[in-house]
C-alpha cells in the first residue's frame, strides 16, 4: 500500500511541484493551505508523514501546528518534515532550542529550495525510523 504524505504549505506552486515529485515516487499526496485546513484533513485521515512549511499565515504557524500535533495522542507519532525558505536555518534551530524546553517537534528541517531527490530521501528516511513513542 502506498504511503501518504500531507503537504501543508500556502504556496500552490510548491505544493504542485511536491505532488508531482512524490506521486512519481509512488506516494499518495494530499494537501492543506494552512494549519486550520491541515487539522481538518487530519481529523478525516492520518497520513504517514507531514511535510510542513514554517511560515504561512504567521511566521510561526508551522511550529505552532507541529507542537499541537506533538501534544495530541492521535497525531504525536506522525513524523514531520519541515520546510523553510529562511536562510541560516541551522542557527535558527539552535536559537529556537535555547528559548524553549520543549522537545523539537519535527523529524527533519530542510531549506527551500530543495532538490526533488533530497526531498524524497528525507521522507523515506523519516518513514524508516521508529515512532516517537
Q: What is the pLDDT of residues 2-47, one digit of tens each?
A: 899 999 999 999 999 999 999 999 999 999 999 999 999 999 999 9
3-state secondary structure of 129: coil
Beginning with the edge strand found earlier in the chain, give each strand of the sheet holding 49-53 in spatial order.
28-32, 4-8, 49-53, 80-84, 108-111
The topology under which CATH files domain 4-126 is Rossmann fold (3.40.50)
Per-residue pLDDT at 107: 75
Do residues 7 and 114 touch, judged by C-beta distance below 8 A? no
**Whether the model pTM is above 0.75:** yes
Amino acid at each position: 500500500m502506498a504511503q501518504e504524505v500531507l503537504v501543508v504549505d500556502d504556496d500552490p506552486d510548491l505544493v504542485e511541484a511536491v505532488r508531482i515529485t512524490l506521486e512519481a515516487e509512488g506516494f499518495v499526496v494530499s494537501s492543506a493551505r494552512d494549519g486550520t485546513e491541515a487539522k481538518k484533513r487530519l481529523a478525516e485521515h492520518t497520513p504517514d508523514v507531514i511535510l510542513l512549511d514554517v511560515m504561512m499565515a504567521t511566521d510561526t504557524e508551522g511550529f505552532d501546528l507541529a507542537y499541537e500535533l506533538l501534544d495530541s495522542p492521535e497525531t504525536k507519532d506522525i513524523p514531520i518534515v519541515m520546510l523553510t525558505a529562511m536562510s541560516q536555518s541551522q542557527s535558527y534551530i539552535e536559537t529556537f532550542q535555547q528559548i524553549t524546553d520543549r522537545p523539537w517537534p519535527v523529524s527533519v528541517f530542510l531549506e527551500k529550495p530543495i532538490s526533488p531527490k533530497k526531498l524524497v530521501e528525507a521522507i523515506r528516511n523519516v518513514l524508516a525510523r521508529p515512532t516517537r513513542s
